[in-house]
Structure 1
């Protein structure tokens, strides 16, 4: 994240868009609620006083880097870990002390956890067999679940005969067939290649809307969270930095950490106040081009140009010190774009595109693998 010293005057010195944490209202029918949840592993605090409400029927993502506490939160909801302090509620019931099998949730893992010796149909039916559901109903629900994930006719195949995307669908069908109130997904698309992962993001969201279940999705991938979520929580160092819709979190980050973690951002600093402006909001003016009335304008020199197909990323060293990242759509040829290095330019953006953020409070770093 680019840092710029106190070189800005004019409109930037005036109060800009002041953003506070976007907190979810207390839902009348919260499917999941975490109240003051804290989790310690020895001396390490993996989750530090988390409060979250997830509404029934919502696709809610918990997003953060490795060690942020997101997976630990999911494991406490599932019952695989017990909170050191605080409470976990499911559908209005305090389940903090209940084992996993007494909670009306199912979990889909990244490694699928399919039984290799069983067929697809047997894998999907497994939970129903454990619950002693009659065979006729098991068969019908298994077929319905496979149809939902577009795997009709695959029930007699073994997992080894499937692609990675198909195995992920089987794992999803096995979870859905139990009709849980809440489905927990722990980075389930992490092992898939980019194009398949992008396709599965759309499918997951469509399935969630079709079945109307509450999905809680853990990921470190910002695109996944922005693509699928109704709302998301951004975690860092065991704490929730911000909760909001994808648009709220991206366009109005509450802290400098959120601004830097979600996409790319420029951090501006003046008089102890911190601001951020997204690189795609900055316009590189053409020769003789006038900026919009009231726009903030900076002069500089292009120091780096990275062509990435649809867009080009520029690093511009400002005349008064510091540098800004700029992302522009490619309307010119690649040859013309790459010739920009070393060019004197003027940058402009509107005052309302500058957002005030809180500076992140440094948290205690987690041990490797703890609090993921």
Structure 2
């Protein structure tokens, strides 16, 4: 156990209510906690509230929110959980604000005929877009002037993922097919000579997604090497770790888009490379076909105790961040191995999660079975291109 892992364990136990001084007797006694609150013997601390709701895991398929005649690539809640936004292969996604008029922003570089944005994030003030693209660059666009303001030569091959430190937009995380996750500080970043402030190395294949914990320290990466890794940015990788990752990625000879995962990749998923600086490694889901998403569970209802991920086997897999064990696997009754690409856990409703899959289905999962009311569980079908929004 590394010092970084010990610190993370202590922090997680406090945030999830597993270590709450003075409340040991009521730690797992829900009736005792509610009775104490009811009779004003003592209010519930934030840790105690999380301890009550973190056990409400998504378990049961409740409602098919929507069904499309195309692959669903993205589906996520907004910050307060009042809206859910999805993006489909043949659909155009528009976001409307208070004003009726809106303007499109051309993200294409002038010099490239073939170009794709693989990942996109808004800055904390919503004034900028940060994108990771197929040419290995990160592009930053100012929405107010409708123009690009910064171009970063970030990765040797495709740049597949980008994320921002939730506490500010100065720190940028990027990752790509080279298997490296790089950390950039805009306050000391030069377009002419872009250098990351640090690199996180330990994966053996390309990285598909990044999610930050929101504490300014920790993040996770999902990878084609069939693992998720937890990182602490106070512990960057050294040259030997970076060289080991680059060498291992170059030795990969399979294409995850259509080939089966080699047996050696599955067998050695938890074998660490020299210089691997990750805090934890999680394995038990399948990464194939496309850039699958993995995320931290919400802080308000789980204390971010879990990491959950999409899976190419048509499942949603939930890990305990501290033990690395799979604590929940979600699959529908008509399980047909269609790739689940994105997953989003409601930030406000305990145990509610939506999975987005390549069979065109948006599926809502809940902690306990509910009696369906008349008209509940019906889905709408979309067969032609257009704009679609759905509020839960």
Report TM bin, short chain: under 0.3
Q: Which structure ranks higher in relative contact order (CA pairs < 8 Å, sequence separation ≥ 6)?
A: 1
The structure number with the bigger radius of gyration is 1
> Normalising to structure 1: TM-score of the pair?
0.26
Larger fraction in helix? 1
